[in-house]
Amino acid sequence: MMSELSQPGRPRRPAPIWQAGEVVEVVVETPETSSLRIQLPQPEPFLPGQYYNIRIPVVGRPRPIQRAYSVGSSPHPRFDVIEVGVKEMEGGLVSPVLVRECPVGSILEVRGPYGAFTWTEEEGGPVLLIGAGSGVVPLMAMIRYQVSKGTTVPMHLVFSSKSAEYVIYRDELSTLAHQYDWLQVTHTFTRETDNPLARYHRRIDKEMVEEVFVETAPKLAYLCGPPEMVDDCERSLLELGLEPDVIKTEKYD
């Protein structure tokens, strides 16, 4: 389904501009991941699952370096403050600065929103969400959006993390899953074999996808994470009978 932002017959919005956003809050999610809440001086409506570009000056580079970061916050009821999830990448030029050296009050150049990896209640469900690591960020935006709208489309999140310590949004996901009947959260840990928080203790594989698929009976699927994981899950879902056009993917390198 086309969003209001792209329906035929409506005037096209001008391309997003770079703007100076102020970091108004920093939430440490895991030892390597932080959420930056950024106040935008010229906010634009966005859809759950979209991303913004952020660019920063880097010593020794002639031009600022930019990277794309998914928005984890809901665009409803307000979209003037966006929350981007940033995982520190070893050897990265931008992510270590954003995670370690970007306190409240910092000014960041941001531009967006972008992306077609989106969900709203009009698209229906049940919805299967599969994410690994920081791939959960746009999926969390969809969950938070539904909470804010008060809709009840069934959602099942399968979330792969290294261990309990590295589960992004761990406490919030636990609270929401207990509070809302429409949300089910299944954790799998790849480096912790006995923590009861996780139903599985391995990487997401075909057997896991099949089990969750039978439980969920999804009409839509959203896959986000490393390319190999996304490709494997997509292949499994196609074999299980989902049509290609209802499987949405976003790959994080």
Taking all residues of the chain, what is their mean pLDDT, rounded to a whole number?
93
CATH of the domain at 160: 3.40.50.80
Q: What is the pLDDT of residue 103?
A: 95
What integer is the mean pLDDT of 206-219? 97
The model's pLDDT over 86-120, given as tens digits with 9 standing for 90+, comes to 999 988 899 999 999 999 999 999 999 999 999 99
The verdict on 110 and 127 lying in the same domain is no
- Residue 3 above 80 pLDDT? no
The verdict on 128 and 226 lying in the same domain is yes
CA end-to-end span of the chain? 27
Q: What is the pLDDT of residue 15?
A: 83
Q: What is the pLDDT of residue 100?
A: 93
The DSSP H or E segment spanning 147 is helix 136-149
Q: What is the pLDDT of residue 253?
A: 66
Q: Which of 99, 100, 71 is nearest to 87 (CA)?
A: 99
pLDDT band at 59 (very low <50, low <70, confident <90, very high): confident
Q: Which of 56, 53, 55 is nearest to 70 (CA)?
A: 53
CATH of the domain at 37: 2.40.30.10
pLDDT band at 159 (very low <50, low <70, confident <90, very high): very high
The model's pLDDT over 164-178, given as tens digits with 9 standing for 90+, comes to 999 999 999 999 999
> Which of 61, 95, 114 is at the close of a domain?
114
Q: What is the pLDDT of residue 4?
A: 33
Distance CA 31, CA 34 (A): 8
The verdict on 54 and 104 lying in the same domain is yes
